[in-house]
Amino acid sequence: MRRLPIVVLAAMLGAALLVATSAFGTALPRPETWVDGERFAGVVTPATFDPANRNFDELYMCTDGTTFKDGVPLISESGPGDQDYNGGRWHLNVSTNCDATADSVEDLDLSAFTSTSTYFECPLLPRRGNG
């Protein structure tokens, strides 16, 4: 007799988790990015925008499995606090020849990067303990 409420409770909990997963979907990617030697976290958000408006910043990534300093996969030309920062609207540039010690655009050989047709939105969030 006592077993029935436990089974019902478990079924209700399972249904609630299924609804929560459906409502919120999967977790959004949170890539890290170097900006002038400062490390930021990011949140990739579903968004589209017209790249012809040119309101975006350049973002650099390695495509051969290597990363930049401390395993961070991205470097940006600007970030929060920079006058020309566009709020996390990006144009992606890729290379198979990256410097694993780089943590700013000034450290990169920009001629080694190829422009892509990928534009996306990903606001940058300061990480605690940067310094």
Give a three-class secondary structure readout of the chain: CCHHHHHHHHHHHHHHHHHHHHHHCCCCCCCEEEECCEEEEECCECCCCCHHHCCCEEEEEECCCCCCHHHCCEEECCCCCCCCCCCCEEEEEEECCCCCCCCCHHHCCHHHCEEEEEEEECCEEECCCCC
At 104, is the pLDDT very low, low, confident or very high (cuts 50, 70, 90)?
very high
pTM of structure: 0.70
Predicted pLDDT of residue 129: 57
| pLDDT (tens digit per residue) in 51-72 | 777 789 999 999 988 899 999 9
More reliable by pLDDT, 3 or 90: 90
Give dist(CA 12, CA 127) in Å, integer. Answer: 38
Give the sheet arrangement for strand 57-62, strand by strand.
Answer: 114-121, 89-95, 57-62, 74-76, 32-35, 38-42, 124-126
pLDDT of residue 94: 96
Query: What was the pLDDT predicted at 92?
Result: 92
Residue 44 has pLDDT above 60, yes or no: yes
Of the two residues 84 and 3, the one the predictor is more confident about is: 84
The Cα 28–Cα 17 span in angstroms is 18
Q: Is the pLDDT of residue 101 over 90?
A: yes
| Residue 6, pLDDT above cutoff 90 | no
